[in-house]
Every structure is written in C-alpha cells, then in structure tokens.
Amino acid sequence: MPSGVIDVAAGLVERDGLILITQRKQGSHLAGLWEFPGGKREPSETWQDCLIRELQEELAITVTVGELRYETIHHYPEKSVQLRFYAAALISGEPQPIDCAAVAWVCPKDLAAYAFPEADRELVTLLAAR
C-alpha cells in the first residue's frame, strides 16, 4: 500500500438542476475519466480555499464553498486519496477546460452514463438516486 494520503477537495457545482463534471486530460492519472472538479490541497490551505483556487485555475470560475456533502478515502495501487466533496455555488465565469479535457453539465440521474474513478462511484450513485 502506498505511503501517505493525498488530500483532494472537489466541488459539487450545480446550476439549473445540473451538476458540473470535468474529464481528466490525457497523460494524467486516470486519464479520460470524468470527475467532480477540484484538486490537491496544499499543506497551508483550508479545504475550502483549495477548492476555490483549483476551480479558478482549472476552469476559470469563481465559486463560494458551502457544506461538506461527502467524504471518502480511496486506495489506488499507486496512491491513496482523501476526497472531500463540497457544495459550491458558481459566482462568476463560465467553465472552460483550461486544465482538463472537457467540461459538461449533467443531470444527476445521467451521471452513471459517464466513466468515473472508483473513488467517486458511491457518490455518483447517491446523487443519481436523489
């Protein structure tokens, strides 16, 4: 098992009943899979500040971060990640694929049609069922 756990903050950004997802770019870990946008937390950052920074850098959007909606730790063969998924409200900008392959607004019930990493699957099931 890998040593250390990587902290990742992700956003559940919703608009008009749709959820924002992004596709991982080629050459990255889990390339081609879809995910909820976010990224690695720096040691000096709060989870919320991390999410705000990552969404600005990767998608050119500004958000406010709400409540923690889901949390999990997942062990991949090459690394372990602690994921925290927060509700996030879009304040400004339209998501652009700056540091990802694509962006999509998806109805929660349709999330299962997209290939997500193992770490996200339980959350995808929960969101699709609501």
Mind listing the pLDDT tens digit for each residue in 2-46? 458 999 999 999 999 999 999 999 887 778 999 999 999 999 999
**For residue 118, pLDDT beyond 60:** yes
Q: What is the pTM of this model?
A: 0.92
> Residue 74: inside a domain, yes or no?
yes
pLDDT of 3 reads 57
Among 31, 42, 43, 41, which Cα is nearest to 82's? 41
> Residue 78: inside a domain, yes or no?
yes
Higher pLDDT: 130 or 88? It is: 88
* pLDDT per residue as tens digits for the range 63-114: 999 999 999 999 988 889 999 999 999 999 999 999 999 999 999 999 999 9
Query: Residue 12 belongs to what H/E stretch?
Result: strand 6-15
pLDDT of 45 reads 96
85-40-91 Cα angle (round to 5): 55
| Full domain range(s) for residue 122 | 6-129
> Residue 1: inside a domain, yes or no?
no
CA distance 42 to 123: 24
In total, how many domains does the chain have? Answer: 1
> Residue 68: inside a domain, yes or no?
yes
Q: What share of the chain has pLDDT > 90, as a percent?
A: 86
> Tokens standing for 61?
């959007």
CA distance 22 to 33: 8
Q: Which residue has the tokens 């994921």?
A: 83
CA distance 87 to 51: 10
CA distance 26 to 80: 21
pLDDT of 98 reads 95
**For residue 1, pLDDT beyond 70:** no
What CATH number corresponds to the domain at position 84?
3.90.79.10
Mean pLDDT of the chain: 93
> Tokens standing for 81?
């990640």
